Amino acid sequence: MKIVIAPNAFKDCLSSIEVANCIEKGLYVGTPETSSGSNRAVKLVKIPLADGGDGTLEVLTFKAGRRYKKKVHGPLWDLVEAEYGILDNGTAIIELALSSGLSLLSPDKRNPINTTTYGTGELIKDALNKGVKKIILGVGGSATCDGGAGILARLGIKFINKQGKSFIPVGKTLKDIKEIDFTSCIKLPKTIVACDVFNPLLGKDGAANVYAPQKGASSEEVKLLEKGLTHFSNLVPEGKKLSQLPGVGASGGAPFGLSLIGAKIVSGAKLMMEMLDFEKKAKDASLIITGEGGINENTKYGKVVYEVMQFGRKHKIPVIAITGNIGKGTQELYKQGLTSIITIGNGPISLKQSIQDASRLLEDAAERLGRMISII
């Protein structure tokens, strides 16, 4: 019996590599005849995944490439030390969350009306200085809602206000842009934006309305952000068309800004699975175990769990997800190919405690799952 362990990271807690290791440890205990390579009863194969959000850099550079550190401007303009990677084939792997991410701010400082993606632009520029031939930018986990204006500003695009002065817009000042000058924009090599969700830029399902409240915006501030993003998109000829593309509303609209200069938007989870040769490694599995910190109605919008369960459905392989929290909308996932969901909680527990004890709880949950598997 071959079991593939293919989780995403547990946000603010464990990387996907750590989650995979915990599940493996628990399965070892729960299935005593388990091995990672011998001819014993159960063989475990770990393929940690990411979806363009937290952990993308770690997953793609775990066994290949080189990492670089660079001091850049964080979401609130303070200097942070961020990291990116370059694979052996000259592809830069840049994770927006490491320079413009929510995890870089304490809860009391989180508000997307004030934050910028400028630091991510600095990472891109540094990678370009090293002669990269291709860029993959993972955009999940942002603290921003600036439509990618900060990135564009660092790449040479000028935003001019009503007074004729150049400035770098953030969420609350997008409305102040009068004109955009693309003439000095740096030419990018092939650039792929790996999205973890597929929301449009505007409207009830857009960047401001869906995700800004999660980043600290009030209802009035959400309206301000929506107005700013709408204004931004109306300033470019192709803006209206691009604003409706699936994925441009991810990460506070950063993919929208990048699409203005030719970047291609793709599913982060699908891209990771392709780059990690997931189909070849997993198509003969008897069971796939995936997981994520929370599983809910948003899971179906391109998250790792959704893409893995679609893979399982295609190849007629059962898929079980381990999670910290089951939210609304999971019944729909069962209809679309997910076999079951197991939570790591083993009793009433706070979120803080769950995060603190995540490794042990994951191992315990995997052991319980292993004991069920061993009787089949």
The whole model's pTM is what?
A: 0.90
pLDDT of residue 106 exceeding 50: yes
CATH architecture of 56-269: Alpha-Beta Complex (3.90)
R_g of the chain, CA atoms, integer Å: 21
pLDDT the model gives residue 202: 97
Residues 308, 288: Cα–Cα separation, whole Å: 8
Task: Name 45's bridge partners.
Answer: 4
pLDDT the model gives residue 139: 94
pLDDT of residue 270 exceeding 70: yes
pLDDT digits (tens, 9 = 90+) for 235-268: 999 998 999 999 999 999 999 999 999 999 999 9
Q: Name the more confident of 32 and 275.
A: 275
CA quadruple 117, 70, 195, 100: dihedral sign: negative
pLDDT digits (tens, 9 = 90+) for 169-214: 999 999 999 999 999 999 999 999 999 888 999 999 999 999 999 9
For range 215-235, the mean pLDDT: 97
Contact predicate 282/3, CB 8 Å: no
Residues 292, 304: Cα–Cα separation, whole Å: 8
For range 338-345, the mean pLDDT: 94
pLDDT of residue 69 exceeding 60: yes
Choice among 61-65, 112-116, 126-130, 360-364 with the minimum mean pLDDT: 61-65
Q: Where are the domains of the chain?
A: 2-49+285-374, 56-269
DSSP 116: -
For range 288-314, the mean pLDDT: 92
pLDDT the model gives residue 39: 44
Looking at the chain, which runs of residues are DSSP E strands? Answer: 2-5, 34-35, 42-46, 66-73, 79-86, 91-95, 134-138, 158-161, 166-167, 177-181, 190-195, 264-267, 287-295, 319-326, 340-343
- Residue at token pair 């959400």: 222
Q: Angle, to 10 degrees, between the axis of helix 304-315 and the axis of helix 268-275?
A: 60
pLDDT digits (tens, 9 = 90+) for 10-33: 988 899 999 999 999 999 998 876
For range 127-156, the mean pLDDT: 97
Residues 249, 242: Cα–Cα separation, whole Å: 10
Q: Mean pLDDT: which of 56-65, 155-164, 290-299 is highest?
A: 155-164
Instruction: Show the tokens assigned to 246.
Output: 């699936």
Q: Is the fold of 2-49+285-374 the same as that of 56-269?
A: no
pLDDT the model gives residue 54: 83
What's the pLDDT band for 94 if we cut at 50, 70, 90? very high
By CB atoms closer than 10 A (0-12, 13-18, 19+), residue 335 is exposed
SS3 state at 316: coil
Average pLDDT over the chain reads: 93
pLDDT digits (tens, 9 = 90+) for 28-45: 998 876 555 554 578 999
pLDDT of residue 75 exceeding 70: yes
Domain 2-49+285-374 CATH assignment equals 3.40.50.10350:
yes
